[in-house]
Amino acid sequence: MPKTFDFTDIERLVSSARLNSYRTAFRTVGKADLFGIYSWNLELSGALNSLLQLVEVALRNAINEAGKTHVETAAGQNWFDAVPFTLIEDETAVLAEGEQPPLIKAQQTKDFFSGISSAKKKAQRLLRKKLGEDTTAVPTLDQIISQTDFSVWEYILDKSFYDGDAAKKFLWPKGYITAFKKPPQVEGKNKQFQQRDMIRRRIETVRMLRNRVAHNEPVWKDVNTDDTSVIIHKLKDKINEVLELTYWISPVLYTYIKNGSIIHRLNILLCDHEINNSLYKNSDIDIVDLSSLNLAVTDIHSDDKRLLIQVNGKRSIIFSRKNRFN
C-alpha cells in the first residue's frame, strides 16, 4: 500500500524543504521511503522527548533544592532572588583617562534573572486563569520553577555564580553536594571550577538536542553524513551524553532510566533493522507454528529490535520486554 499511496498533499503540507535532509541522508528512492524515514524520525523524537522531559524536571528540581539549601534568604524571599553572583567590568564603556570601567552583570547572569522573571510572569498568568483576574494570590516557589525554560539551568551554572571562597556563600561549589550526587571526574587544578564548566556545557548540549526535538527537526541533522551506521552511532553518543548528565545528578535516576522502557524503546529505534523497517526493506516473517514463533522471539531477545510478523495473513509486530522497569 505505501508504494501506491499518493503522498503529494502530505509533501506539500510538510514542505519539500523540510524533507530534503531526509532524502539526502537516507538516499530515499521514492515517496514511500521518504515518509517512512520521516515517520521513523517522529517516533525517535517522541522517545527522545520522553527522556529529555524527565532529565529537565530532574535537573531543575535538583538545582532548586540546592538553591533552597545553600543560598541565604530573607523571610519570604526565594533563593533565586538572593543568589550571589560576580560582576564583570564593562568592556564597552567609554572612559575618561584613568577612569575604571564600571561593573555590570555578565550576559549569562542577565539571562538567568530574565528567565526567572519570565517564569514568574507565566506562573502568575496561570494563577489568574485559574483563580480569576482579580486574584491576590502569588505563585509559589514550585509554581515558578515549573515554568522555567531549560536554558535557566544552564545559565545558573555560569562562572558568575561560582566562588571557591566558602565565606562568600555562593551557590557553587557548595551546592554540588545537593544538586549533583556524582559530579564529573576531572584532573588538574581547580577541579570544582572544572566540574561546574563541564556540567554547564553538558546542559547546553542537552538543551540544543531538546530544542531540535521540540521543533520537529531531524534529530540527526547535525551529524552531516549519509552513512546510516554513522548516524546511528552519533545518535547513541547523544543519548549517552544525556544519560551521563542524569548520572551526575543521581546514580539512582541513571539506573532507573537505563533499565527502563524509554531507553529500551530508543535502542529498538536506533538500529539498521528499524531503519530498514521504515524503508520497507524488511519482509514479514510468517509464524506458522510454535517453532517459528520461538525462533522469532529468540531473535528479538538476541538484539533490541522489532520484528514484523504475519499469522494467518494478519500482520503484527513483536518486540522484547527484557528490561527491569518495562
Contact between 60 and 253 (Cβ < 8 Å): no
Q: In whole angstroms, what is the distance from residue 108 CA to residue 106 CA?
A: 5
SS3 call for 12? helix
Strands 285-286 and 307-311: parallel
Residue type, position 160, single letter: S
Residue 292: per-residue pLDDT: 86
Which of 308, 263, 304, 269 minimizes the C-alpha distance to 285?
308
Residue 326: per-residue pLDDT: 53
Q: In whole angstroms, what is the distance from residue 280 CA to residue 15 CA?
A: 22
212 secondary structure, DSSP code: H
Annotate 75-104 with DSSP letters as a single string.
TT--GGGT----EEE-TT----TTPPPPEE
The total of other beta-carbon atoms located within 10 Å of residue 315's CB is: 9
Q: Please, what is the angle between helix 251-258 and helix 261-269, to 10°?
A: 50
Q: In whole angstroms, what is the distance from residue 295 CA to residue 305 CA?
A: 14
Tell me the Ramachandran region of residue 117: left when phi exceeds 0, alpha when psi lies from -120 to 50, beta otherwise.
Answer: alpha
Phi, psi values for residue 77, rounded to 5°: -100, 140
Name the strand (E) or helix (H) holding 318. strand 314-318
Residue-wise pLDDT tens digits, 155-202: 999 999 999 999 999 999 999 999 999 999 999 889 999 999 999 999
Q: Around 151, how many Cα atoms within 13 Å sit in the side-chain half-sphere?
A: 14
Residue-wise pLDDT tens digits, 262-302: 998 999 999 888 898 888 888 888 888 898 888 888 877 76
Residue 323: per-residue pLDDT: 60
The total of other beta-carbon atoms located within 10 Å of residue 14's CB is: 16
Q: Extract the residue ranges of the chain whose pLDDT is less than 50.
A: none
The CA angle 13-18-24, to the nearest 5 degrees, is: 130
Contact between 305 and 319 (Cβ < 8 Å): yes
Residue type, position 251, single letter: P
Contact between 268 and 319 (Cβ < 8 Å): yes
Q: pTM for this one?
A: 0.88
Annotate 135-200 with DSSP letters as a single string.
------HHHHHHT--THHHHHTTSGGGB-S-GGG--SBTTTHHHH-SSPPP--SS-HHHHHHHHHH
Contact between 280 and 32 (Cβ < 8 Å): yes
